[in-house]
Structure 1
Amino acid sequence: MSLKKGIIGVDLGATNINSLLMSEDGEILARDFRPSLGYQGKEKVLSQIFSSIKTLQKEGEKSGVSSFLGIGVGSPGPLSVSKGIIYHSPNILGWENIPLVDILQKEFNLAVFLENDANAAALGEWWRGAGKGIDYLFLLTLGTGIGGGIIIDGNVYHGAWDAGAELGHMVIKEGGMSCGCGARGCLEAYASATGVVKRTISAIKHNHKTIITRLIQNDLNNLTCELVFKAAKQGDELALWIVEETGRYLGIGVGSLINILNPQIVILAGGMIKAGDILLKQVKKYAMLNSLKASREKVEIVPAKLGENSGAIGAVATVLKRKGII
Structure 2
Amino acid sequence: MNNEEHYIPSSKKIVYSHIADKITITKAELLANTGLTSTTLTRLLDEMMEEGLIQIAELGPSRGGRRPILYKINADYRYIFGIEISRIHSSIGLFDMQLNAKSFIQWRMDEAMTPTRFLKYALQQMRLFLRDHHISHEQVMGVGIGAVGPLDRDSGMILDPVYFSASGWSNVPICALLSDETGWVTAIENGANAALLGEQWVLRNELIQHALYLHAGVSLRSAMMSHGRIIHGTVDMEGAIGQMIIQTDGSRLNHTGNYGSLEAYASIESLEKQARTQAKMGRFPFAHQLEVAPERINFEFLRQAQKSGDPFAQELFKQSATYLGVGVANIINMFHPDQIILGGALINSSPLYYDTVIEVALKNTYYHPKYQPHFSKGQLKEAAVATGAALSVWKNIPF
The separation in 2 between residues aligned to 1:84 and 1:252, in whole angstroms, is 34
Q: Paired residue for 1:275?
A: 349
Q: 2:141 aligns with which of 40, 46, 69?
A: 69
- Root mean square deviation, CA, Å: 3.3
Q: 2:328 aligns with which of 238, 250, 254?
A: 254
Q: Is the 8 A contact 2:252 2:264 kept in 1?
A: yes
Range with greater deviation from structure 2 (266-275 or 48-57): 48-57
The separation in 2 between residues aligned to 1:28 and 1:320, in whole angstroms, is 14
Distance 1:221 1:324, change over 3 A: farther
The separation in 1 between residues aligned to 2:113 and 2:312, in whole angstroms, is 41
Q: Which amino acid aligns with 2:265?
A: Y
Q: Which amino acid aligns with 1:54?
A: R
Q: What is the deviation of 1:39? A: 4.2
Q: 1:101 aligns with which of 172, 175, 178?
A: 175
Q: Paired residue for 1:29?
A: 102
Q: What is the deviation of 1:36? A: 6.6
Q: Paired residue for 2:41?
A: none
Range with greater deviation from structure 2 (254-263 or 231-240): 231-240
Q: Report the secondary structure of 1:102's partner residue.
A: helix
The separation in 1 between residues aligned to 2:178 and 2:307, in whole angstroms, is 46
Q: Which amino acid aligns with 1:29?
A: K
Distance 1:14 1:58, change over 3 A: farther
Residues 1:198 and 2:270 aligned together = no
The alignment-based identity, stated in percent, is: 24
Indicate the structure (1 or 2) with the bigger Cα radius of gyration. 2
Distance 1:129 1:302, change over 3 A: same
The separation in 2 between residues aligned to 1:292 and 1:170, in whole angstroms, is 18
The separation in 1 between residues aligned to 2:205 and 2:314, in whole angstroms, is 30
User: Which deviations, in whole Å up to 9, do the C-alpha atoms of 1:25-83 show, x marking residues without a partner?
Assistant: 121112355677774754444333433333334345x1589722221011112211123
The separation in 2 between residues aligned to 1:3 and 1:42, in whole angstroms, is 31
Gaps of 5+ in 1: none
Q: Paired residue for 1:264?
A: 338
Q: Which amino acid aligns with 1:158?
A: H
Range with greater deviation from structure 2 (49-58 or 140-149): 49-58
Q: What is the deviation of 1:7? A: 0.8
Range with greater deviation from structure 2 (306-315 or 157-166): 157-166
Q: Paired residue for 2:293?
A: 219
Q: Paired residue for 1:172?
A: 246
Q: Is the 8 A contact 2:348 2:354 kept in 1?
A: no
Q: Paired residue for 1:50?
A: 123
Q: What is the deviation of 1:322? A: 4.3
Distance 1:234 1:59, change over 3 A: closer
The separation in 2 between residues aligned to 1:226 and 1:275, in whole angstroms, is 10
Q: What is the deviation of 1:266? A: 1.4
User: Which deviations, in whole Å up to 9, do the C-alpha atoms of 1:229-274 show, x marking residues without a partner?
Assistant: 5555555443343233112101110000101111112111111223
The separation in 2 between residues aligned to 1:36 and 1:289, in whole angstroms, is 37
Range with greater deviation from structure 2 (296-305 or 267-276): 296-305
Aligned length: 322
Distance 1:4 1:183, change over 3 A: same
Q: Report the secondary structure of 2:171's partner residue.
A: strand
Q: Paired residue for 2:81?
A: 8
Which structure exhibits the higher relative contact order, with contacts defined as CA atoms closer than 8 Å and separated by 6 or more residues? 1
Distance 1:110 1:66, change over 3 A: closer
Q: Report the secondary structure of 2:258's partner residue.
A: coil
Gaps of 5+ in 2: 1-74
Q: Is the 8 A contact 1:130 1:302 kept in 2?
A: no
Q: Paired residue for 1:20?
A: 93
Distance 1:249 1:33, change over 3 A: closer
Q: Is the 8 A contact 2:266 2:324 kept in 1?
A: yes
Q: Report the secondary structure of 1:97's partner residue.
A: coil
Residues 1:182 and 2:257 aligned together = yes
The separation in 1 between residues aligned to 2:275 and 2:87, in whole angstroms, is 26
TM-score (norm 2): 0.70
Q: 2:157 aligns with which of 72, 85, 109?
A: 85
Distance 1:82 1:65, change over 3 A: closer
Residues 1:144 and 2:218 aligned together = yes
Q: Is the 8 A contact 1:212 1:227 kept in 2?
A: no
Q: Paired residue for 1:316?
A: 390
The separation in 1 between residues aligned to 2:178 and 2:157, in whole angstroms, is 11
Distance 1:315 1:131, change over 3 A: farther
Q: Is the 8 A contact 2:221 2:238 kept in 1?
A: no
